[in-house]
Chains A and B, each alone.
Chain A
Amino acid sequence: MRTLHPVSFVAALGAAALLAAAPLAGQAPGGRELLLKIDRNLNPESYESYRKIINIEPNGRKREYTLFTVKDGRDKVAALFLEPAADKGRSTLRLGDNMWLYVPNAGKPVRITSLQSVVGGIFNNADILSLDYASEYDVANVEEQGAEVLLSLKAKSKNVAYDQLRIRADRKRLLPTTIEALTATSMLVKTLHFKDVKDYGQGIVRPAVVETDSPLYKGHTSIMMFARIKGRKFPQEVFTLSFMPNLETIRQ
C-alpha cells in the first residue's frame, strides 16, 4: 500500500483548509464574529423602537422628527412618522435593497433610494432604515487598539449606501463609539458618534444618542435619539407595500 509523503499530506491539508475558508476570503479572521456581536449589542434582530431625529442648522435652528420603527430579521425595516403634524402618517419601508416612501396625500408608495433623505439634514434613508452591518458589509481588517478595536468594513455590493465603514468599538462592551462612512476612494462622507450608553431593559444596553456630522454639510449636525427599544416579532405582512398605510395599527 502506498503511503502519502508527509510534505504532500501537509500540502493536501493546507489546500483543504483554503477551500474551506473560501467563503470567508477577504474577511479578517474573527472580524465577522465581532461585527455580529456589535450588531446584536446595538439591537435585537427583531424589535420596535421610538426615535427622535434632530437636525441642527449652523444658526442653531432645529427641526425635529419622531418616528416609530420596526425591524424583523436581517433585511426588513419600516418606520412611521409620528411628529411633526406635516409628516405624520408618512412611512418608509425597506426590504433588502428595495426602499419605498408612503405619503398619505399621494396615497401610494414610491421607490426611493438609500442616499436620499426623507427628513433632510445629514441622516439619509440608509441611516434611518439601517440593517445589521454584517448583512451589508464584509470585515476587511481588524486592529486592536488597547481599549478599542477598529474594524474596517467593505460593502458587499454596489447597492449599499457607503462603500466603506470604519467602526471604532469599545473592546469590552463591543459597542461602537464612532463610525466613519467613506467612499470607495476613502473620502469621508460622514462620522457617526455613539454616546450616552443606556439600559433599555431586556438586556439591551446600547448608546442612546447617535450624533453625526459631515464635511459635506459644514456647520450642520444631526442627532438620532433612541427610546423604548424592545424585542418583538412581527407578522411578515407588516413589511409589505400594502401595509404601509396601516403601520400605525401595530403600535401597542
Chain B
Amino acid sequence: MRSGSLLAALTMALMLGAAGASGQTPSDAAQPDPFDLPDLRPPRFTLGGHVEVRPVAVRLDPASVFYRLRGGDAGERWQTVGNGQLLVDTGYRQGPVQAFARTVFDGAGGEGGWDGEVSLYEAWVSLKPTPSVSLDVGKRTMKWGKGYAWNPAAFLDRPKDPEDPALALEGVVVVSADLIRSFTGPLQTVAVTPVLVPVYDGVNESLGRTGHLNAGGKLYLLLWDTDLDVMFLSGGSRAARWGLDFARNLRPEIEVHGELAVAGDEEVRVIAADGRVVARRRGGASWLLGARYLARTNTTVIVEYFRRDFGFTADEMRQYFDAAGQTLGPPMPGVTPLPLPTLAGLARSGYADRQPMRNYVFARASQPDAFGQLYLNAALTTIYNVDDRSLLVMQEMQYRLAGNLELRTQIAGNIGARGTDFGERPGDARVEVRVRYSF
C-alpha cells in the first residue's frame, strides 16, 4: 500500500473508531432547550404562600359539657364561621446565608362579628457553609418524630391536629445546628442536631416554666435502610425527657414507624372520685406504633396506635363530666359543686385537649384519582378512643382545580355516649369547605 493511502486509511479508521465507540456524535454545542426553563440561578429574594377561604358549619351539641362550659346558647343548633387565611413566605439567600419568615394572617367571622390576628410562625437565619454543616437561629419548627397523626417525641413542636396533620404550625425560638455525614455500607447517614431552647418571659412561654435555657438534641441514623432518631430535652422548663423513633419499609408497599417518649414526673390536676380537685404526679411513657400500606388499587391506608401515660383515665374523665354536670345543672341538696372557673381551668389544663385520654387509634384510607377523576383525592379518617369507645369519623375530598387552585371538603362527626371524650365535644358534626390558591 502506498504511504498516502495508508495515512488516509488510518485517518478514516480513527474517525470511524471515534464515532462508533459511543454511538454518538461528539459535540460540545448544545441545542436549544425543549421548554422554557425557570431562572437557572435561584433568585436572591423569594415570595410565596397561599390565600384561602374556609367556611365552616358546626352542628352544635347544646347538651354537651364543653359546649355548656363555653356558655353557649342552649337554643342554638348551628354555628357558621367564615375563616380566611393569608400565609406569606419570604426568603432571602446570599451565598451560604439564608433567611426565612412565615407570616400568617388569620381572620374569622360570623353572626357575632369578625376577628383577626397576625402571627409570625417562623423567622430564622441560617448559615450553611457546606451541605454538611448548618447553623440556625430564630423561630422555626423542628418537626421531630415519624408519626402521621401524633408525635409524642416532638418535644419542641406544638401538637398537630390529627384531623389535619399537614397544617402549618407556629415554631419555637431555638439555636440549632445540623452536622451531616454520609457513608457507604449499612450505615449510610449520620446527622447530629444540637439545640438550645430559651424559655423566658415573652419567649417560648408555652414550653414550660420560664427562666431557663434548655438544651436538647437529636441523633439521626439511616442504618440498614431504617430511619432511626434518638432525641432528648432537658433544662428545667419541663421534666427532662428522651425519645426515639424509627421508620422502615418492610416491603415496598408496607412501611412501619414508631415513636417513644419518656419523661420525668409532672403534676397533673384531676378530679378525684370524691369530687375534689387533687394534684397527682404523673410520669412515664408515650408511644406510637403505626403502619402505612399501599394497596394494588393505589389506596393508601395508615393505621396508628397512640398511648400516653400522662392522659386521663376513663374514670378521671367521667369524674370531670360528673362534676361539670353538677355545676352546670340544677342545685342538688348536700352537693357543693365546683366553681365554673375551676372547671374551665381544668379544661384548659388538659381535659379539653384534642386527645385528653390514654389510648387512641387513628386510621385513614385515601385514594388518589378517585372515581377515575385525575387529581381528585378521597379519604376516610377515624380517630377512636379505646378507653371509652367514642370516635370521630371524617370524610374528605380534595381536588386540584388548576395548577395552584385547590378545593377541599371535610364532613366530620363525633360519635359517643354522654360522659365520653367525643360525646361531650361542643359540636357533634362539622362541614367545612376550603378553597386555597397558592402563589
Binding site for B on A (CB under 8 A): 37, 41, 50, 52, 55, 57, 63-64, 66, 82-86, 88-89, 95-98, 103, 105-108, 110-111, 113-117, 120-121, 158-159, 161, 170, 172-175, 196, 198-203, 205, 208-209, 220, 225-228, 234-243, 246, 248-252
Contact = CB atoms under 8 A, between A and B. Distances in A.
B130 A235 contact: yes
A235 B131 contact: yes
Interface in B176-203: 178, 180-182, 188-189, 191, 193
B35 interface: yes
A198 B180 CA distance: 38
Nearest to A200: B30
A249 B93 contact: yes
Contact of B141 (A63, A107, A117): A107
A147 to B, nearest CB: 12
B23 A41 contact: yes
Contacts of A172: 23
Nearest to A126: B252
A205 B257 CA distance: 43
B249 A41 contact: no
B133 to A, nearest CB: 9
20 contacts: A50-B37, A57-B374, A66-B37, A106-B143, A111-B248, A113-B255, A113-B294, A115-B298, A116-B300, A120-B374, A174-B23, A201-B28, A201-B30, A205-B27, A225-B35, A228-B37, A240-B222, A241-B222, A246-B128, A252-B41
B374 A103 contact: no
Interface string B368-399: 11000011000000000000000000000000
Interface in B194-242: 220, 222, 225, 227
Contacts of B2: none
Contact of B294 (A55, A96, A97, A116): A116
Contacts of A117: 368
Contacts of A37: 22-23
B34 A209 contact: yes
B366 to A, nearest CB: 11
B247 interface: yes
B119 to A, nearest CB: 15
A240 B249 contact: no
Contacts of B24: 41, 173, 203, 205
Contact of A88 (B37, B48, B148, B222): B48
Contacts of B25: 199, 205
Contact of B167 (A50, A105, A202): A105
Contacts of B225: 96-98
Interface stretch (B276-284, B333-341, B400-408): B400-408
A243 B143 contact: no
Given A115-B253, A201-B30, A205-B27, 17 more contacts: A41-B23, A52-B35, A84-B438, A85-B403, A85-B438, A95-B188, A108-B144, A113-B253, A120-B368, A121-B374, A199-B30, A200-B31, A201-B28, A227-B37, A243-B131, A248-B42, A249-B93
A92 to B, nearest CB: 15
A98 B38 contact: no
